[in-house]
Amino acid sequence: MPAVMSMWPHLSDSWPAALMVPGLMLAAGVALSLDIANPWRSSGVRTSAAGLLAGLVGGGVGTAAAGAGFSRPVVSAGILAVGGILLLCGLLGARAFGRSVRRYDSAHRRREHLRGHGTRSIAVVDALSWEQAYQEDDPIFTITATMRTNRGLRTVTGDLCAPRDLAPIVGGTVIVSHDGTTDDPTRIDCLFAADPRSPRDPDALRTYPPRPESSPS
């Protein structure tokens, strides 16, 4: 039975393997670098899958390129398929990651706009809840408050992160930054901040314990 010739008949299996290993190592290095550096941090992206996606794309390209050089057609086809799957997963993930970055960036810009250019109003806390969520070591509260604007009274709801000893209390006040917009695409209409002049919850340190090791954030 005649031997089946590969696409690159003069290449031995050691050469494409030598090509694949450095390519995968390079992809892993880029992936680790992106995960550590997280260049999207300034846009408000808290965690990044960029490293994993770079590894998938780089690994897929390197694996597919090396797979074409194996002398055995079955091995070559199998490695090409693996490389193609890795590359496809990486590209689909990169598309989703790009959308995530744009979403986080829009929310970040919206918050910065409200902090820098929004109107600061004092609002009375009507209700608050705490779902045992933290940011760093500070609890995150969901607050409903009423403030007075040029158009009359307005009730707003949002999150407030504050140290435990500055925890809000129903009947107390918070500072709300807003610009009158109620239909922003980011769904961020206002920002809450602790009011240093507000009455405090005398039982806050007992009601809101320090963050445990496994608490959500």
pLDDT tens-place string over residues 166-185: 899 999 999 999 987 877 88
φ, ψ dihedrals at 40, nearest 5°: -95, 10
Looking at residue 9, its pLDDT comes to 40
Give yes or no for residue 161 having a pLDDT over 70.
Answer: yes
Looking at residue 171, its pLDDT comes to 95
Angle at 106 between CA 103 and CA 111, to 5 degrees: 125
Question: Taking the CA of residue 173 as centre, how many other CA atoms within 13 Å lie in the half-sphere pointing to its CB?
Answer: 12
Q: Which two tokens stand for residue 168?
A: 């809000």
Q: Which of 79, 95, 113 is the C-terminal boundary of a domain?
A: 113
Domain-located, residue 5? no
Q: Are residues 71 and 123 in the same domain?
A: no
Q: Are residues 96 and 134 in the same domain?
A: no
φ, ψ dihedrals at 29, nearest 5°: -65, -45
Cα dihedral sign, 194-197-198-199: positive
Domain-located, residue 61? yes
Whether the Cβ atoms of residue 126 and residue 146 lie closer than 8 Å to each other: yes
Interval 47-84: pLDDT, tens: 556 666 666 776 777 777 666 666 677 777 777 787 77
Query: Would the pTM of this model clear 0.85, i.e. be above it?
Result: no
Tell me, what CATH number does 152's domain have? 2.40.50
Domain-located, residue 8? no
Q: Among residues 155, 160, 154, which one has the least CA distance to residue 129? A: 160
Give yes or no for residue 8 having a pLDDT over 60.
Answer: no
Domain-located, residue 23? yes
Sheet with 119-135: strands ordered across: 152-161, 138-149, 119-135, 173-178, 190-194
Q: Which two tokens stand for residue 22?
A: 């450095």
Q: Which residue has the higher pLDDT, 98 or 203?
A: 203
Q: Which of 37-41, 71-75, 150-154, 194-198 has the highest mean pLDDT?
A: 194-198
Q: Are residues 99 and 130 in the same domain?
A: no
Q: Are residues 102 and 127 in the same domain?
A: no
Domain-located, residue 193? yes
Q: What is the residue-averaged pLDDT of the chain? A: 77
Q: Which residue has the higher pLDDT, 188 or 22?
A: 188
Using DSSP, state whether 4 is helix, strand or coil.
coil
Interval 175-213: pLDDT, tens: 999 987 877 888 888 999 999 999 988 899 989 998 887
Q: How many domains does the chain have?
A: 2
Q: Which residue has the higher pLDDT, 27 or 43?
A: 27
Q: What is the CA radius of gyration of the chain?
A: 27
Give yes or no for residue 115 having a pLDDT over 80.
Answer: yes
46 pLDDT band (50/70/90 cuts)?
Answer: very low
Residue 196 structural domain? 119-207
